[in-house]
């Protein structure tokens, strides 16, 4: 894995090798860390790197921090500026993934959120495909349930909660599937291990509402806007039943790491024709152009590193 040479740690940019936390750190012991996964894309024609929707990622990160009673001396603007500083240090000329975190930084035992110091840290890594089979994925239904808003909120990107995602992902991969869908405690389809889900029924694009224990995905939000404005589709946020995915015309999953993954088989049943559908294909092409700052209308989402 090609990691950045520099990181932001304890208030300044340092060599990555020096960005170390002690094993007695609260965030490590109890998963009391929140994070984001952002990407910056290389545009070969412009020879420039562009960060995709950093303000929205930092807004969600700061919302996660609020849920976990964290307080840091940065806002969306200062975190975005700091991101540019970190990226410029290493002069990246390829697609990269950024991992900002806010963590409970005190050392010692005692499970709680209050009266603990919070720190912000970030590193960067080179990034290729997250789901190798992203144009033809075979997925399953996980036997695990999605974490609930009244236990650990899926709406927050909380490190400890990703034990749930890891169980979902590993069991799916070991059973030979590319990814899994997970039901929430009401039995509705929520999302994948680290991706949101969309289905198309009767030409309407449907995705679970933010009240069905999903992460409020930035890619989800982008795809909903593109489907409406560029493809003229009706987009519905409503609960999805398990069997609806078997009879959908198209199914795809979205995430910063995964981008848009075409799902062509679910538990050995073909989705639609069993091949990537036309709406999924159009959205994938459009999305790749947009993240690389090749689409003038959506350059509001691209921050040039310069």
Enzyme catalytic residues: 157
Query: Residue 217, interface with ligand PMP (CB under 6 A)?
Result: yes
With contacts defined by CB under 6 A, name the span among 12-20, 99-107, 119-127, 248-256 that binds ligand PMP: 248-256
CB of 166 to ligand PMP, least distance (A): 11
CB atoms within 10 A of CB 285: 11
Query: Residue 283, interface with ligand PMP (CB under 6 A)?
Result: no
Are 225 and 173 in contact by the 8 Å Cβ rule? The answer is no
> For helices 218-229 and 54-67, what crossing angle results, to 10°?
130
Are 214 and 191 in contact by the 8 Å Cβ rule? The answer is yes
Residue 81 to residue 278: CA distance in whole angstroms: 39
Query: Residue 255, interface with ligand PMP (CB under 6 A)?
Result: yes
Residue 235 to residue 240: CA distance in whole angstroms: 13
What token pair was written down for 253? 């999953």
Comparing CB distances to ligand PMP, the nearer of 27 and 217 is: 217
Among 64, 256, 280, 302, binds ligand PMP (CB under 6 A): 256
Comparing CB distances to ligand PMP, the nearer of 32 and 219 is: 219
Comparing CB distances to ligand PMP, the nearer of 31 and 272 is: 31
Are 294 and 48 in contact by the 8 Å Cβ rule? The answer is no
Among 37, 54, 100, 277, binds ligand PMP (CB under 6 A): 37
Scanning residues 165 to 204, which ones bind ligand PMP (CB under 6 A)? Answer: 165, 191, 194-196
Are 251 and 140 in contact by the 8 Å Cβ rule? The answer is no
CB of 106 to ligand PMP, least distance (A): 26
Among 6, 138, 169, 220, binds ligand PMP (CB under 6 A): 220
Burial per residue of 241-264, b for 16 or more beta-carbon CB atoms within 10 angstroms, e otherwise: eeeebeebbbbbbbbbebbbbbbb
Query: Residue 207, interface with ligand PMP (CB under 6 A)?
Result: no
Comparing CB distances to ligand PMP, the nearer of 17 and 163 is: 163
Query: Residue 146, interface with ligand PMP (CB under 6 A)?
Result: no
What token pair was written down for 171? 């069991």
């Amino acid at each position: 894995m090609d990691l950045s040479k520099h990181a932001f740690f304890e208030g300044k940019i340092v060599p990555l090798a020096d960005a170390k936390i002690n094993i007695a750190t609260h965030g490590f012991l109890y998963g009391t860390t929140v994070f984001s996964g952002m990407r910056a894309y290389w545009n070969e024609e412009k020879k420039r790197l562009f960060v995709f929707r950093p303000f929205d990622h930092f807004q969600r990160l700061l919302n996660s921090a609020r849920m976990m009673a964290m307080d840091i001396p940065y806002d969306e603007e200062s975190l975005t500026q700091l991101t540019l500083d970190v990226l410029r240090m290493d002069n990246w000329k390829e697609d990269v993934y950024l991992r900002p975190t806010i963590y409970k930084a005190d050392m010692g035992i005692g499970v709680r959120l209050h009266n603990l110091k919070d720190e912000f840290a970030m590193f960067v890594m080179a990034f290729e495909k997250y789901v190798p089979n992203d144009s033809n994925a075979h997925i399953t239904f996980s036997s695990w349930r999605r974490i609930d808003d009244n236990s650990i909120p899926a709406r927050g990107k909380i490190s400890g909660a990703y034990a749930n995602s890891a169980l979902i992902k590993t069991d799916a991969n070991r059973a030979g599937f590319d990814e899994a869908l997970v039901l929430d405690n009401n039995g509705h389809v929520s999302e994948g291990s680290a991706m949101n889900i969309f289905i198309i029924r009767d030409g309407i694009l449907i995705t679970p509402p933010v009240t069905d224990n999903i992460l409020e995905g930035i890619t989800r939000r982008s795809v909903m806007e593109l489907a409406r404005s560029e493809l003229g589709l009706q987009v519905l946020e409503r609960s999805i039943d398990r069997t609806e995915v078997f009879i959908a015309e198209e199914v795809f999953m979205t995430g910063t790491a995964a981008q848009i993954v075409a799902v062509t088989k679910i538990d050995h049943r073909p989705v639609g024709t069993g091949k990537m559908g036309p709406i999924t294909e159009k959205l994938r092409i459009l999305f790749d152009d947009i993240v690389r700052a090749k689409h003038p209308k959506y350059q509001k989402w691209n921050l040039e590193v310069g």
